[in-house]
């Protein structure tokens, strides 16, 4: 009788433990993802997590998300919510624009996925007061090319079509400054 009770208790404990530990595989980001970025295979990894009723809010690892567009900022290691990506974003409205900047004109450790503002300061030789101009706000960094010994860094940013010309107009006679958003 004692042995039967022990087996029943062990079986019940096993079933309760199994029922309480219902983990699901969902996508998590491996690095920072910013609005406008196209998700690559190296940007995501499957993560086994315990999500009771909220599992429907996150993308299952069986969902094909490579090639989709990020709509909202996703931090490194975060689970990827369904509402944070889209399949049908008008990519024809976005352009990758390279900017060459002095090393001192961008934040330390700027990397892919950072959201930034770009300011321009007119280049003048006079001592007059110069007011910075905000060119674009809340744009995404697609890539930061290796810093060279020349002190120049190339940054590839994602701009909407209507932002490209206005930004390029400032390149020849202005110093560009990048400010990272939090």
Q: Where are the domains of the chain?
A: 21-86, 93-180
**Neighbouring C-beta atoms of residue 45, cutoff 10 Å:** 12
| Total-model pTM | 0.65
- CATH topology of 21-86 equal to that of 93-180? no
User: What's the CATH code, domain 21-86?
Assistant: 3.90.1210.10
Q: pLDDT tens-digit profile of 88-100?
A: 656 667 788 889 8
- 3-state class of 44 per DSSP? strand
pLDDT score for 95: 84
For domain 93-180, give its CATH number from 2.40.30, 2.60.40, 3.40.1130, 1.10.10: 2.40.30
- Give the span between the Cα atoms of 17 and 21, in whole angstroms: 6
pLDDT score for 89: 59
In which band, very low, low, confident or very high, does the pLDDT at 74 lie, cut at 50, 70 and 90? Answer: confident
Nearest to 176 by CA among 158, 153, 159: 153
Q: pLDDT tens-digit profile of 122-148?
A: 887 666 667 888 998 888 888 888 766
Least confident among 45-59, 105-119, 122-136, 164-178: 122-136
In which band, very low, low, confident or very high, does the pLDDT at 118 lie, cut at 50, 70 and 90? Answer: very high
Q: Is 136 left (phi over 0), alpha (psi -120 to 50) or beta?
A: beta
Partners of residue 152 on adjacent β-strands: 102
**Neighbouring C-beta atoms of residue 75, cutoff 10 Å:** 10
- 3-state class of 87 per DSSP? coil
Percent of the chain at pLDDT > 70 equals: 92
- Give the span between the Cα atoms of 37 and 58, in whole angstroms: 19
């Amino acid at each position: 009788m004692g042995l039967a009770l022990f087996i029943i208790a062990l079986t019940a404990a096993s079933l309760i433990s199994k029922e309480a530990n219902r983990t699901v595989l969902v996508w998590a980001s491996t690095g920072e993802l910013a609005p406008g970025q196209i998700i690559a295979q190296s940007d995501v990894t499957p993560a086994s997590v315990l999500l009771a009723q909220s599992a429907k809010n996150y993308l299952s690892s069986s969902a094909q998300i490579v090639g989709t567009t990020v709509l909202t900022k996703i931090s490194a290691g975060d689970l990827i919510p369904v509402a944070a990506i889209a399949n049908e974003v008008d990519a024809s409205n976005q352009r990758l624009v390279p900017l060459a900047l002095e090393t001192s004109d961008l934040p330390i450790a700027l990397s892919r996925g950072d959201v930034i503002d770009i300011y321009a300061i007119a280049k003048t030789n006079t001592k007059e007061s110069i007011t910075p101009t905000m060119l674009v706000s809340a744009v995404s960094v697609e890539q930061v090319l290796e810093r060279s010994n020349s002190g120049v860094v190339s940054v590839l940013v994602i701009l909407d079509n209507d932002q490209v010309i206005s930004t390029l107009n400032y390149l020849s006679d202005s110093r560009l400054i990048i400010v990272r958003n939090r």
